[in-house]
Homo-oligomer: A and B are copies of this chain.
Amino acid sequence: MAENFTPIQELGEFGLINSIQQSVKQFLPSTIKGIGDDCAVIEKNEEEFWVVSTDTMCEAVHFDLRYVPLKHLGYKALSTAISDIAAMNGIPSQVLVSLALSSRFTKEAVDELYEGMNHACENYKVDLVGGDTTSSQSGLMISVTVIGSVKKEKIAYRSTAKKGDLVCVTGDFGAAYLGLHLLEREKQAFLENDKMQPKLGTHSYLLQRQLKPEARTDAIFELEDLGIVPTSMIDVSDGLASEIMHLATQSNLGAQLYEEKIPIANETFNAGVDIFKIDPITCALNGGEDYELLMTIKQEDFDKIEKHPEISIIGFMTDPDQGVNLITKQGNVKEIQAQGWQHFKKPEKE
């Protein structure tokens, strides 16, 4: 590579997106929001916006077909894309799916993939309305575009949190990351000895979170019922640390999170400590693929959410000069750094 060229690895995914964003102009008044949030936002009618997002998964980068069943992969491709609609406080309605397949795939394999996608369509009440199938030189690539809509007064951007807002999350964190570790460990054992039976036994929660995650559209309906409009929101695909950094940076604020408040399932905690010797909070902050929602809400909404079994308050937004920090269980202040998933580094997550 010549000296005056910049390898993509040096920029990273977000550097690349920033560079693209700067080069792009906008011409149309119907474009409400372009690059830079979970979805693009487009004028629909007087009451509503369209929210649209596209997501691509590549074999050997995002999934390993040696242990990912195609049916689960189809389901996951849709739920991870739909998660971006939820992140705008939107309801998904239509999906389009582009597949690139190498010639080693059979009709039966494609059927299995679509079985998973159709199952997701039923579950999320969305219609698969189009797409494209083509051949690839190597492996499988799935690109999913999701369309949804949201009432104008309910849309939740990343950039609109206010100082003092409560930071909340749905569900729990770190499980999908340990699910991946488990699958990778069994694959290694299998590659070394193909007579070996996989020991995945009691870890069904971790595996399910990795192989068949759910988009939290249920939480969108729940927030509606509670009468809460998040002041900002993002979905957690790259780990809690990376996503709180996005909310803080784009809202021009700081944030303070409390380690003891970050929800981690018992199974995740135990597997982290006992099996993988990884601090569970590291899995929660930097693991990724949880597809939960991270949002900020007004302090006055505290009562509505305080005792909710599926939504946890984990901190609050501060002045920007206070930075983004974690208060540990011991009461120490640790600066949060977004490690997350580095697409353009070697795919080594361990």
Contact = CB atoms under 8 A, between A and B. Distances in A.
Given A24-B118, A94-B28, A130-B52, A7 B106 contact: yes
Nearest to A57: B134
Contact of A61 (B11, B42, B108, B136): B136
Counted per complex, copies of this chain come to: 2
Q: Which of A19, A24, A105, A344 has the most CB of B within 10 A?
A: A24
Main secondary structure of the interface of A (DSSP, over half): mixed
Interface string A39-55: 11010110000101111
Given A8-B103, A42-B94, A110-B19, A24 B128 contact: yes
Q: Which of A27, A33, A136 has the most CB of B within 10 A?
A: A136
A10 B103 CA distance: 11
Contacts of A60: 137
A192 interface: no
B103 A23 contact: no
B131 A54 contact: yes
Nearest to A128: B24
A135 B11 CA distance: 13
Interface in A1-42: 1, 5-11, 13, 16-17, 19-20, 23-28, 30-31, 33-35, 39-40, 42
Interface string A69-96: 0000000000000000000000001101
A222 interface: no
A185 interface: no
A32 to B, nearest CB: 9
B130 A5 contact: no
Contacts of A137: 58-61, 138-139
Contacts of A258: none
Interface stretch (A141-149, A291-299, A326-334): A141-149
A19 B115 CA distance: 12
A98 interface: yes
Contacts of A50: 50
A127 interface: yes
Nearest to A141: B141
A111 interface: yes
Contacts of A35: 128-131
Contact of A100 (B19, B25, B42, B141): B141
A307 interface: no
A306 interface: no
Contacts of A16: 107, 110, 133
A343 B135 contact: yes
Contact of A93 (B6, B30, B129): B30
A121 B115 CA distance: 36
A102 to B, nearest CB: 9
Given A96-B54, A100-B58, A129-B31, A8 B106 contact: yes
A96 B23 CA distance: 14
12 contacts: A6-B106, A6-B107, A8-B105, A25-B122, A28-B125, A28-B126, A56-B134, A57-B134, A58-B137, A61-B134, A61-B137, A143-B143
